[in-house]
Structure 1
């Protein structure tokens, strides 16, 4: 049997460790990670090994040669241009002559290869994917199998709504040569995106083997460090070069430990290193070969590559030092710092947490380094929440962070883009806005600046000016928090793929940079709200009737800015408007809404409108004081559009009521179901409309100020009241429940729910939807919080509650009785 090691990875998220070497050459306990893959294959008698190369191939070929040192035969296949995971293996097709195994050169595992191969043959499989249970599977490809292990479906880097299992694709495959017959040599294709879906569609036998041994994709600094610690804690069965002289202490040949050295396990020291007097190594700690550590130095939870030189009285805390680094005395290097090779850090310098320093740099003595030597500080790999980036002003959302974020967003767009940047006008909002503008300007893009704006206004500005994208900053001074919303060229929230691209650019510090003479001065748009109000009024067809009817409204919101614009708009329409302003610094939404309902009941004959803080959503209160909540409002808005007869298609999220299906059918219009995240809904609503046109359904759902105008316009045309329209909403019984569930349990719970309901009518479009004759239930993991959402709808309130209770109890039972076999 032969093997192919895929070793073309760049390891961009591991920079600066991978600035001068490819990812498979990154050392784990002083050996390249790929070396462990070769040793594993040799252990199971696989000695003919092909190696696919792309990035810096010479460094791999020079180190491993023909493989003779390891008792194997290595054959190299170099990609001149990227060919994808499948294309790179197809490039080595002449080497393959039977069943073969594919393994990654930049992941660490001690898998029992023989057991996996036996499973492959026993199942008569053409393609066997090695799977592994993962607590948080969203960063991997999720694979769904039936009880026999046959692959039914897989998803590449899913959202939480698509996590139907906790078994992930490790990238280890056992294939028969004919599985590659779908493509020709030289074709560009991936296994997960291209080949495997074709095999699945053609019902080619394809199975998933769930491994029980260790596996870790060394994709970022966290996993890189954790892999070292896992090895020292005995979680991985690997041959170690250094000798374990006592429990948890490994010392290489020729290494000298002088008097007073304190070793607190686990500690691993390579060969020919010197540890001077009164030094303290607090595990997990790894010292490379030919290293020098000076007197009274303390090293804790850190990794030193070969040939690192550390002077006396140095303190290392959770750092990684690459080869040939030279750290002078009295230096302090703190958590999650990475220092590139051959860098010199001067006496008394302090390197603050999370800093990355690229290779061959020199830090002067007594310098305090609190940002990357190149662009800025390192923030979490995952920036985006459910729909935006949020955090504390001047802490998570600092000006440095914002400038870097602006540069990343602009770098992800086309060259010299036009970008709208707005804020709510608060001092803290302007602070972040100015920083973002500076970051964008540094890339050569043109900024159009709105000083005081609302999120719907900014969306409209992007469409009105036909910009390439937009950013809106909204703050909440009560709790010193803010959010940054990103908008694409259509006015929609950006896609998840663009979010990932921004995150990658941000984490790698890879930004476009223009020359100084190419920096473009921001264009300040003065009083854009007047354009917003004017264009909103153009949407109305019955202003004369509105003025004649004397429509009365009472409006409220926690945002003074929203109330100000809404009041102007409604008065311009000819409405009588009373505004309930928030009172007290820490006013809550519930209290404001209760005050609104009370005012409606006292006044009567008025409509109440509660605007969300961003101005996108509204909650209505009819003249009878009845709340028209989110689900009921969506049905009301749909009825309104269908009754006007101006649309041939309506868009609704997958989780909305079945009443929508019946309404669409009754009016002969197409219903398109989308995923429930705002970006999916918005992009579907906007995709058929040429800018600056904005469809009514988008307005009714995502532009609260224009939406209430459209509703008043509709009521005036019909000569009716909101309460009358509300009475016409079909009865529906809809429930939502939240069940606490830890992140590590989510994937497992979803997998077990699918397995236990295979006999039922289930859909896996978003979450798990289980259809019953008289209703349905949907189990959907929350993307931002450790919980699972359960939606249910039935022919009666009692049945909706019954479905909700049944599935809530099942979820709770699965959480409390964790089956470790999954």
Structure 2
């Protein structure tokens, strides 16, 4: 026995593992007939650590009754119960005087065969005060990423990074070796987290803190996929774990008391637990785990599935890639498909089909001949990560089904808080109407209030959140450019896009699929705002100070939009400003890009118009065409908006992402303003704009195409200038964008090799890898939704920009080729 203690954190609810954890805490989820936490206790005992503290919170008695004082395992267990959530660090701090010397912190719901002696030796040799055990992961975005230098000293923490921040493949396993004095940063009873709170403080105070990279096995059993995978890894002997069974020469682990018919076929690797009975002509295929006291009827087939104890499977059943929890009864001729879960003590009667990804909560009864294609609780199934760069998107009745939208509405309402008031706006398409109605139903089912906006655009829905002082909102629109694809954007109480942490909260609630529904009498009435367009237009008009002068100018505008809602609102707004408007590209026209630019330019010249405007179908973004026919969009438009915000409305602080041209700094410096850079996240850009200037003119110019037209015309009238003359004030710049395809598994590796595998002196690792040299800069940014890299380059000349892009592209191609080789 060595003179250190250990703390096992065992307070997790395991919400992402439901329904496995509906009746047990996460550390008690069985792996080969034993709770996950039992493997942690045995590992500590094997390494000579016998004094173990256990922090418990959720269903603590289940853990305490099973392990008692630890005598059966040759250890001494002492339990510490959290009455209120204290976080990972706070729960360990709650152990009081238990920890006097160096100690180890481990999770009760992860499985590892870590050599603790080697990790402790590393800690001791480095004279570390806090050593984090790290593991290399090819796709690390679901973990906390840790960056270390050459001797293992930690230099940076990234908590669940985006793809643009994957500068290391070493992730935090949640296994720590600590000196007791580091806990003195916080008082007992204070809620704090190791990775988010304590460790960054140690780093700032230059306390010795190191990362020990292990090659040993480690798996965080955080979701259903990893739960099944840990069984497969043990069967493949990737993890050094002792099973209470004897391995046959054929690679089958067989326990005692089994009764298997001679006609049964067993395919390796597989595990058959104690007292299992398998009847004639059944098949237990590879990667199947059959726990104790189960029965498998004749002609049934089990493949890549985990079956808990005391499960009865009838005749001619097919179980493929599922998890069946203890005490369940599966009657004859039932088919259960991939990634489905049957909760404890459930009964599935004859001839039922359980479709892929379905979760059945404990104690449910599925009647004969039923095809189950959604979760049996309240809502429907959901994937782990549903949010893209701007909300949720998909095809109606495929990814975006009414059931999914209803559950999404419930999840968002639950994330916002009890009795939330949410604005739900949409365009006038049938697809959007179905999604909006279903989403609203989900909100109402939790007792929330919904305010529906018809024929809306995103800026109008944002305005609706502020106007009604709502707790949040969504905007739903269906794209005509990408037929039938529906988009759902989520707003906070300020009407700006929610951040990634709130998105993760919604995803977790959606995966739990378990909400506190309200009573029937508490369901609120839907509020419909019939004339909200007029309120939105009137508010935009009221922002303009010299309205009469603009009306006298009678600007001639050529207006286009594929969105009927956007074109209608813009048309009315411009008429209120006294403009003569020609609408040439509405719902009925079939003009597509780039033909629309030429068509608009010809109309502008023929009608001697002052301006052409093309509004994106979400109503946020726009493109301008000046009276010479020049198209102003993307970066050019944003630089024009910057110029108007500074010169016309005294904006002092402006916000641009790191990937934007440095021409923004030139404009700001020349006009006495300042630029702040952020990540490319829409939510982060919006948040920073509102933080720096409220109300933010730049926010309107970037995200509200309708009110932008008022600001633009007001500035043009005041300065007696046209858009063509305004564009002459934009400094010349040379900026290129390019995409390179790659496999998902290569994204993290490539960005790390570019960042750390080259002898490049001037590199920024804020978002992606930005390389500065004498020609300009190049930025490599992995796409968050697609298997590709985005390359941005800006050079001092056009030739230099192309050289930078070509050099970085060739480097990526070389790294991809080397991997394939």
Sort the TM-score into its range (normalised by shorter chain): over 0.9
Counterpart in the other structure of 1:648:
652
Q: 1:659 aligns with which of 656, 663, 679?
A: 663
Decide whether the 8 Å contact of 1:604 with 1:624 is kept in 2: no
Q: Classify the secondary structure of the residue corresponding to 2:78.
A: strand
In structure 2, distance between residues paired with 1:742 and 1:147: 29
Q: Which moved more, 1:144-153 or 1:669-678?
A: 669-678
Counterpart in the other structure of 2:791:
790
Question: 1:237, CA displacement in angstroms?
Answer: 2.0
Is 1:279 the equivalent of 2:288?
A: no
Q: Classify the secondary structure of the residue corresponding to 1:139.
A: coil
Deviations for 1:425-446, whole angstroms, at most 9, x for unmatched residues? Answer: 1222111111111111112222
Matches within 5 A, 1:135-146: 135-146=138-149
Question: 1:69, CA displacement in angstroms?
Answer: 2.7
Counterpart in the other structure of 1:613:
617
Q: Which moved more, 1:77-86 or 1:5-14?
A: 77-86
Counterpart in the other structure of 2:69:
66
Q: 1:8 aligns with which of 11, 14, 26?
A: 11
In structure 1, distance between residues paired with 2:53 and 2:818: 44
Question: 1:713, CA displacement in angstroms?
Answer: 2.1
Deviations for 1:312-361, whole angstroms, at most 9, x for unmatched residues? Answer: 22221221111111112222222222111122222223323222222223
Question: 1:144, CA displacement in angstroms?
Answer: 1.0
In structure 1, distance between residues paired with 2:648 and 2:483: 43
Is 1:590 the equivalent of 2:594?
A: yes
Counterpart in the other structure of 1:249:
252
In structure 2, distance between residues paired with 1:8 and 1:32: 14
Is 1:240 the equivalent of 2:243?
A: yes
Counterpart in the other structure of 2:404:
401
Is 1:18 the equivalent of 2:15?
A: no
Counterpart in the other structure of 2:39:
36
Matches within 5 A, 1:507-526: 507-526=511-530
Counterpart in the other structure of 2:815:
814
Counterpart in the other structure of 2:181:
178
Is 1:120 the equivalent of 2:123?
A: yes
Q: Give the TM-score taking structure 2 as reference length.
A: 0.95
In structure 2, distance between residues paired with 1:816 and 1:545: 63
Counterpart in the other structure of 1:223:
226
Question: 1:604, CA displacement in angstroms?
Answer: 5.7
Q: 1:534 aligns with which of 534, 538, 548?
A: 538
Matches within 5 A, 1:307-322: 307-322=310-325
Q: Which moved more, 1:662-671 or 1:126-135?
A: 662-671
Question: 1:152, CA displacement in angstroms?
Answer: 0.6
Counterpart in the other structure of 2:741:
740
Counterpart in the other structure of 2:87:
84
In structure 1, distance between residues paired with 2:680 and 2:373: 40
Matches within 5 A, 1:700-739: 700-739=701-740
Matches within 5 A, 1:742-821: 742-756=743-757, 760-772=761-773, 775-818=776-819
Question: 1:58, CA displacement in angstroms?
Answer: 2.0
Counterpart in the other structure of 2:390:
387
Is 1:561 the equivalent of 2:562?
A: no
Structure with bigger RCO (C-alpha 8 Å, 6+ apart): 1
In structure 2, distance between residues paired with 1:314 and 1:594: 64
Counterpart in the other structure of 1:190:
193
In structure 2, distance between residues paired with 1:533 and 1:243: 76
Question: 1:228, CA displacement in angstroms?
Answer: 1.1
In structure 2, distance between residues paired with 1:257 and 1:560: 68
Decide whether the 8 Å contact of 2:380 with 2:513 is kept in 1: no
Deviations for 1:724-756, whole angstroms, at most 9, x for unmatched residues? Answer: 111111112222222223222222333333324
Distance 1:153 1:464, change over 3 A: same
Distance 1:586 1:52, change over 3 A: farther
Q: Classify the secondary structure of the residue corresponding to 2:345.
A: coil
Q: Classify the secondary structure of the residue corresponding to 1:306.
A: coil
Counterpart in the other structure of 1:428:
431
Counterpart in the other structure of 1:203:
206
Q: Give the TM-score taking structure 1 as reference length.
A: 0.95
Question: 1:178, CA displacement in angstroms?
Answer: 2.6
Question: 1:380, CA displacement in angstroms?
Answer: 0.3
Counterpart in the other structure of 1:574:
578
Deviations for 1:616-664, whole angstroms, at most 9, x for unmatched residues? Answer: 1112222222222311211111111211243332222232222322333
Q: Which moved more, 1:785-794 or 1:758-767?
A: 758-767
In structure 1, distance between residues paired with 2:380 and 2:779: 41
In structure 2, distance between residues paired with 1:620 and 1:635: 13
In structure 2, distance between residues paired with 1:534 and 1:419: 22
In structure 2, distance between residues paired with 1:541 and 1:746: 51
Decide whether the 8 Å contact of 1:558 with 1:587 is kept in 2: no
In structure 2, distance between residues paired with 1:784 and 1:604: 43
Distance 1:756 1:351, change over 3 A: closer
Counterpart in the other structure of 2:297:
294
Deviations for 1:544-597, whole angstroms, at most 9, x for unmatched residues? Answer: 443444422222232233222222222332223223326889864334334334
In structure 2, distance between residues paired with 1:471 and 1:185: 41
Question: 1:402, CA displacement in angstroms?
Answer: 0.9
Q: Classify the secondary structure of the residue corresponding to 1:360.
A: coil
Distance 1:601 1:207, change over 3 A: farther
Is 1:506 the equivalent of 2:510?
A: yes
Counting matched residue pairs gives 817
Q: Classify the secondary structure of the residue corresponding to 1:470.
A: strand
Q: 1:152 aligns with which of 148, 151, 155?
A: 155
In structure 2, distance between residues paired with 1:618 and 1:538: 21
Q: 2:680 aligns with which of 676, 682, 690?
A: 676
Question: 1:407, CA displacement in angstroms?
Answer: 1.2
Decide whether the 8 Å contact of 1:282 with 1:301 is kept in 2: yes
Decide whether the 8 Å contact of 1:354 with 1:377 is kept in 2: no
Decide whether the 8 Å contact of 1:296 with 1:314 is kept in 2: yes
In structure 1, distance between residues paired with 2:141 and 2:716: 46
Decide whether the 8 Å contact of 2:382 with 2:511 is kept in 1: yes
In structure 2, distance between residues paired with 1:250 and 1:596: 73
In structure 1, distance between residues paired with 2:495 and 2:392: 17
